[in-house]
Amino acid sequence: MPSSFDYIITGAGCAGLSLLMRLLQEPNLQQKKILVIDKNTKKSNDRTWCFWESGTGLFEPIVHHRWQQLRFVAPETDRTFSIAPFQYKMIRGIDFYDYVHSHSASYNNVHFLQATVKHWRNTAQGVVVETDKGVFSATFMFNSIVHATQLPPPGFKGYFLWQHFKGKIIQTTTPVFDAEKATFMDFTVSQHNGTTFMYVLPFTANTALVEYTLFTEQLLAPESYDAAIDDYMLEKYGIDPTYEVLHEEFGKIPMTNYHFQARDGNIIPIGIAGGQAKGSSGYAFYFIQQQTEAIVNSLLVFGEPKKQGITLQQQKFRWFDKVLLRVLQEQLLPGHEVFAAIFKQNTPATILRFLNNESSLREDLQIMRSVPMRVFLPAALHTALFRK
Ligand SMILES: Cc1cc2nc3c(=O)[nH]c(=O)nc-3n(C[C@H](O)[C@H](O)[C@H](O)COP(=O)(O)OP(=O)(O)OC[C@H]3O[C@@H](n4cnc5c(N)ncnc54)[C@H](O)[C@@H]3O)c2cc1C
């Protein structure tokens, strides 16, 4: 294995492998010497990603399941809607890792190393990355390893919640799920801990991914997530906790208005480390695709990953995220009331475009009109005037 490369990608997860896949699509970049480092083998299905898009994406061949209808449930609201022109798509982590590994196998300029990255630093020539299996250099490093220095520092004055969840693929003996509909949010669960909902993605009448999700400052004790799923299965589907569990996953994603560093010399943070989780929803897969596509475009045009300026459109969505985070974190209104107001009064396509930071000004105004002004107007003014 050489010790010097054009690009080192640290972390072979969603962002690292999305970037690699996109580099290999480009005739002018696919011959670059690339080293991809991860401490894990990435041979297990450690997570599932869902996102929505209207066309076909780079990872279309590995979409595991897709839904055309979403259901939203809150006290006194139960709405199922077609999401055309979007589809809600699911990709399994293991399919994603295998797909990118097998695609890159034919490129002998791409090297994978299973190692723990210890340090990285800028040098006059580029970057140096120290691992437990050696020291490597490159012109650019694309880093998806979240280091403490990348997260909001202690005393951060802005908003910060964890989106945390436990998901289980449950197999029942009796047919109880409607495989046509994905339940995007079901708020008819206890809100005792803060904004809390269930997320149910059925594959067949007998199998579904059921995920207990919270937007709160503190995580729960591990057994609380299991108990909540058991209660939900019993109450909503009459299934006792002897159901079979085919897969389990746990996640915690930062939801914050903190501005993650875009580039430090020749080190470019990508993925969660690069602030690609949407502040008010925690969705990241779609934004990671956009970030890695922008990096590749910049490499093609300028020969380097130029620091992207923040567009007016991005500033607008950052502000919206901040206002919503303020409402949720300060508990100015229960989260389920906020989302119920939005889902009752807007078309699904408008909501999904809004959540993907792609809505027009007219659609933004529609969404704003649908939320309680007595709460959101002061929150909007507060976030515009004060740092927090
Ligand atoms: C269980 C789960 C489900 C999720 N579901 C969704 C979803 O449905 N939709 C959505 O939009 N987002 C979802 N997310 C959020 C987000 O899309 C994922 O977290 C995504 O994997 C982030 O990509 P990433 O590349 O930033 O981080 P990761 O995919 O976590 O990749 C980082 C990599 O760095 C490696 N690494 C860490 N430290 C070191 C080290 N010191 N040395 C070497 N390697 C190291 C890790 O092994 C890992 O492979 C989910 C997150 C989780 C945890």
| pLDDT (tens digit per residue) in 78-112 | 999 999 999 999 999 999 999 999 999 999 999 99
Q: Which amino acid is at 120?
A: W
Note the pLDDT tens digit of each residue in 153-166: 888 989 999 999 99
Return the pLDDT at 307: 81
Does the bond joining 75 to the residue before it have cis omega, within 30 degrees of 0? no
Instruction: Measure 86 CA to ligand 1 centroid, in angstroms.
Output: 24
Instruction: Measure 165 CA to ligand 1 centroid, in angstroms.
Output: 14
- Number of Cβ within a 10 Å radius of residue 149: 8
Any atom of ligand 1 within 6 Å of the Cβ of 36 = no
Nearest alpha-carbon partner for 21 in 244, 289, 272 = 289
Residue with CA nearest ligand 1 atom 31:
13
Q: Cα(124)–Cα(113) distance, rounded to whole angstroms?
A: 25
Return the pLDDT at 2: 92
Q: Which residues face 119 on adjacent strands? A: 130
Any atom of ligand 1 within 6 Å of the Cβ of 53 = no
Any atom of ligand 1 within 6 Å of the Cβ of 64 = no
Return the pLDDT at 148: 85
Structure tokens at 364: 């933004």
Any atom of ligand 1 within 6 Å of the Cβ of 51 = yes
Any atom of ligand 1 within 6 Å of the Cβ of 284 = yes
Instruction: Measure 26 CA to ligand 1 centroid, in angstroms.
Output: 25
Residue owning tokens 């002018």: 28
Instruction: Measure 13 CA to ligand 1 centroid, in angstroms.
Output: 6
Listed as ranges, residues in the chain with pLDDT below 70 are 387-388
Residue with CA nearest ligand 1 atom 46:
11
Any atom of ligand 1 within 6 Å of the Cβ of 380 = no
Return the pLDDT at 388: 61
Any atom of ligand 1 within 6 Å of the Cβ of 355 = no
Are 330 and 282 spatial neighbours (Cβ–Cβ below 8 Å)?
A: no
Residue with CA nearest ligand 1 atom 51:
251
Return the pLDDT at 386: 76
Any atom of ligand 1 within 6 Å of the Cβ of 17 = no
Return the pLDDT at 15: 98
Any atom of ligand 1 within 6 Å of the Cβ of 117 = yes
Note the pLDDT tens digit of each residue in 349-387: 999 999 999 999 999 999 999 999 999 999 999 988 876
Return the pLDDT at 308: 76
What pTM was computed for the model? 0.96
Return the pLDDT at 387: 60
Out of 3.40.720, 1.10.10, 3.30.70, 3.40.50, which CATH number does the structure's domain 160-255 have? 3.30.70
Q: Which residues face 122 on adjacent strands? A: 127
Instruction: Measure 16 CA to ligand 1 centroid, in angstroms.
Output: 9
Coil, helix or strand for 24? helix
Q: Cα(44)–Cα(60) distance, rounded to whole angstroms?
A: 20
Return the pLDDT at 324: 95
Under CATH, which number does the domain 4-65+89-152+258-302 receive? 3.50.50.60
In sequence order, what are the residues at sequence separation of 6 or more whose Cβ sits closer than 8 angstroms to the Cβ of residue 234? 240, 241
Residue with CA nearest ligand 1 atom 5:
49
